[in-house]
Structure 1
Amino acid sequence: MPPVRMWTIGELAEHAGVTVKTVRFYSDRGLLPEAARSAGGHRRYGPEALDRLRTIRSLRTLDLPVPEVARILDQEDTVEDVIAGQLRELGSRLATLRWREAALQLLQDCTPEERAERLHLIGAVSAPPSTAALARFWRRWLPPRLPARLVSAILEEAVPQPPVEPIPAQVLAFARLHAFVSAPCSGDDRGQPAAHRPDKGYRPAVLYDGLREAYALASPHLRAQRPPHEGEALDCFVSAYARSRGMRDSPAFRHHLGRLLAADPRIDHYWQLTAELTGPSQPTASATHDWLLAALDTRTAHPAA
């Protein structure tokens, strides 16, 4: 069997269509091991080095870092795993750029007086924006000792996600929402309803499970722009409050509930900003609650004969 043909660094570079400097760079970083050394100490490469060098160049064309390329070549990671990781990183970078572009447009298209306030608001929000502050707000606002699965479900519905491709108005809405939930809390300015207070006798888990069901039933009516009316959604809404207090749904209870809920503090500002962020196609919990309250008010104002 004839001896294997060895290439010099210059020959390998010529066959691969790269410079000698490129071959030396990858060799020095361990990506392209040499097969031998000449008597004079010069590098020699076997034919398999050409395929390996072409693979390295292909991976580097995708902007993969040298350590990631090394892990693929050494079979410590698969190409699929590395590509998935790079796609996640690229997605985050693109989200950052889109947010910054919309934020810059927001600052460009305003008066000098508005710019100072907007710059302060935007400066307090990371890019891409995080919803961690909103989640903390809801964990403080919700009654204590709710089941973890219920808290997770409420957060999923109450915390709006920043849009993938925001417009300037959505950047401003999110920045104001972030400022609202990050402001110091004092007294009842967060809108703690009576149902959150232990002395009122509510079972919050029963209440919130029922309210989530009632809101889901009412949402299609809001999207269809139907006026508030009696029906399954309202019955479920009233039942949630009645069952949470160990009581029965009755005309007297509905009358009492309407008065009680009308006196509850609100966090309307949060929901107004959420609506600006998500758009009119997705009714907020506040809008759904108001629709049900109006349906309850209509029912109690005109009781059945």
Structure 2
Amino acid sequence: MKAVVYTRYGTPDELRLTEVPTPVPQGGEVLVKVRSVSLNLSDWEGLTGSPLYSRLGGLRRPRRHVLGSDIAGQVVATGPGATLFQPGDDVYADILTYLGGFAEYVCVPEKVLARMPEAMTYEQAAALPQAGVIALQGIVEKGQVRAGQRVLINGAGGGSGMYAIQLAKLHGAEVTGVDNGEKQQSMRALGADHTIDYTREDFTRNGRTYDLILDLAAYRSVRAYHRALAPGGRYFCVGGSLGTLLRVLVGGALTGRRTGKKVRVLAVRMGVEHLAPIVELCRQDKIVTVIDSRYRLDEVPQALRHLGEGHAKGKVVVNLD
């Protein structure tokens, strides 16, 4: 089978489309023919090896040589201990623990798979897993957004931000989206009431405060985040520099006791089993999935470069059909 392989951290130039053996499912595993795979920031981090936590799978060189984690496709074979799916079943999954999505076939434990939601295309299903759970947990489950609250989403122009804007608006919030200049219109089109170009304005220094901040690209100090929160406000970050995440973990809890403001790292529960509420909203057309661009398997380097350079407005998808 064909797969996009890399053997050392670096730029998209490290990626090569090559022939590799097709895996054979063992035990409770399932072999899936990949139809669509969406890109996430985790793919870019896994390619570049930065931030440092992206090297947990191999400090000097990547241990797994095929990236890609949010997949949708069709079961073609099952291991002797797999009982949940049959060949021909349409499935989707977040396989971040295993990787291997940038390939014609991937072999994963059946426990990570779910049946593809009815009326969804392969690329719509592939777009949901990581981006959907981050938005759902950051805005609704942990963020507990309520009508009338002021919500700011930093990194709102990407995949998770796309869903987060819509979820916050559905709950009646006044939403501010922060991203680069080329994403201002796309954030407004999704429902953002206000937008900020982070290259021109620092949202922690403009004097405005928010009841909830979901930060998808954390690089500032804990003090700055406290400054941007209203009394009793909540800040959750997912992604960003290792130093910022450590400062939020340690300093956020300490300062929160004094100020009554919550500054925390969002402990995301990954997996498609946590997606049910947002899947239902998609089926009701209350949430839309915006596909920024589509690529072929041999174009994965271009797709990752487009994402990593900050151009993607919504989700980037690789289709193998």
Q: Normalising by structure 2, what TM-score?
A: 0.23
> Structure 1 or 2: larger helix share?
1
Which of these two proteins has the greater Rg computed from alpha carbons? 1
> Structure 1 or 2: larger strand share?
2
Q: Normalising by structure 1, what TM-score?
A: 0.24
Higher relative contact order (CA 8 A, sep 6+): 2
